[in-house]
Structure 1
Amino acid sequence: MSCVKAFTLFVTHYPPLCELEQVYPEHVSNFHMAFLLNEPDITTDAGDGEVQPEFITFLYQLTKAAAGRSYGLNVARLADVPDPILHTASHKARELETMVNARRKYKKLLSDLWSISDKSSLVKWLQSNS
């Protein structure tokens, strides 16, 4: 009798884990539940730039690849989470996305800088990043 030693990790809101598939393609695969977006994002008239989640329909079909973005607020709305909580969560999600994007940019700059081995390349890098 053979034994399958499968390890499954189910994560809904930690996109950096998706990068593990690139590092360990023989051991890690990304999947998501297929869905349909029924409405475009709608910006409220409150003047705060708040974006209401579009209406999402989950198809309950496992699909290869990571989802393009998080739909946690959509799921929370389907679960009848009160609007004030959704508003706060949306604001915090935007803050976190801004912070993560800044860190990724900083990491790329450091990586690029670390790979420079001569003065002329350093001068070109400095000119293009100033």
Structure 2
Amino acid sequence: MTDRPRDPEAMMRRLERMQAEAESMLAKFNELSEQLGADAVEVRSEDGRIRVKLDAEGKVAEIGIDEQAMRMRQSLAPTIMALVQEATATHALKMAQMAQSLVGDKIDVMGLAARDMPDGMRDRARDNLDR
């Protein structure tokens, strides 16, 4: 059994505080979702001829290839694969950015998300977020 006194009014105040905190967190999440997560992630090849778009859930929604890029068949598949990886990394950092805003400085969410990414990929993903 517990040794704490059972004060119903104190328990009710604590529950009301917890509910207010949860509602505040949900409102902040919805606001951040609209700002950061509602739109898709899109990346382009350096020459701009190939693009990959992920939806808000991080799934490939679109791959765009212009006519000139279609002629470069040997490099097409590796370029698309690299762009899908870059888009996925960008989406991961975008979601980490949103989570970081929710938890504040309690946990380094951005650091956790970026630590296992290769340096070049992490840099390109961060550049994509800044666009």
- The normalised TM-score by structure 1 is 0.27
Q: Which has the higher contact order (CA 8 A, sep 6+)?
A: 2
- The normalised TM-score by structure 2 is 0.27
Give 1 or 2 for the bigger CA radius of gyration.
2
**The structure with more helix, counted as a fraction of residues:** 2
